[in-house]
Amino acid sequence: MQDLIRQLLAELGEDPGREGLQNTPKRVEKALKFLTSGYDANIDDIVNGALFSVDYSEMVIVKDIDFYSMCEHHLLPFFGKCHVAYIPSNKVIGLSKIPRMVDVFSRRLQVQERLTNQIAATISDIVRPLGVAVVVEATHLCMSMRGVEKQNSFAVTSAMQGAFHDNSRTRMEFLELIRLRSNIRGAGSAAELACADE
């Protein structure tokens, strides 16, 4: 990878041999491997048996999970907050496991919609809840740094399954509890569409 990065620097008009760039290929390789380390992660290892039987059927919420991901169209960061809720059927998962699941899927090349859906699908698979809701709010540097559609560089995506899909009161309770910075209605694919064509 380091040879490719040296070549990239030269293509950009830089001198890869100059002092400030001498260790850049090594650093970039290390950074990129970390930022895409989600490909190698195993969800079962992360859950590691932290599933507990409970007699509890109220909403469980983990909100304001910071995440950093990379847009697969431009290899530029998008980042923000992820909010997750589920209603247990008979099992709950250790709360610390949810941010780790978010890391697994965000540390890959992504689009925001897929990231949102993968988090929801994984929780649904593992916990088998009565419902799961995931909302992701993110700023996309591929748009804001390049001056494209500045007003839309912030995007909100959501995945609502089970009770959160079927019951508007449950959904509203969740949305009220996370108090979105922007209105969820109408948000969705703006980010992907705006950056994919440019």
Chain contacts with Zn ion (rule: CB under 5 A): 71, 73-74, 142, 195
Residue 140: active-site member? yes
Which residue is catalytic, options 2, 14, 29, 73? 73
Q: Give the residue with the Cβ less far from Zn ion, 74 or 171.
A: 74
Of 137, 142, 161, 195, the active-site residue reads 142
Amino acid at 75: L
Between 73 and 100, whose beta carbon lies closer to Zn ion? 73
HEC string of 98-155 equals: HHHHHHHHHCCEECHHHHHHHHHHHHHHHHCCCEEEEEEEEEEHHHHCCCCCHHHCEE
Rounded Cα gap, residues 177 and 158, in angstroms: 15
Which of 2, 14, 29, 72 is an active site residue? Answer: 72
- Using CA atoms, how far residue 157 sits from 55, 68, 91, 137, 196, in Å, is 31, 15, 26, 7, 16
Best CA proximity match to 156, nearest among 182, 171, 137, 177: 137
Smallest separation (angstroms) from Zn ion to the CB of 109: 10
- Residue 176 CB, nearest distance to Zn ion (Å)? 31
Residue with smaller CB distance to Zn ion, 58 or 197: 197
Taking the complex as a whole, how short is the minimal distance between the CB of residue 76 and Zn ion, in angstroms?
6
Known catalytic residue at 195: no
Does the annotation mark 112 as catalytic? yes
Please list the active-site residues: 71-74, 112, 140, 142
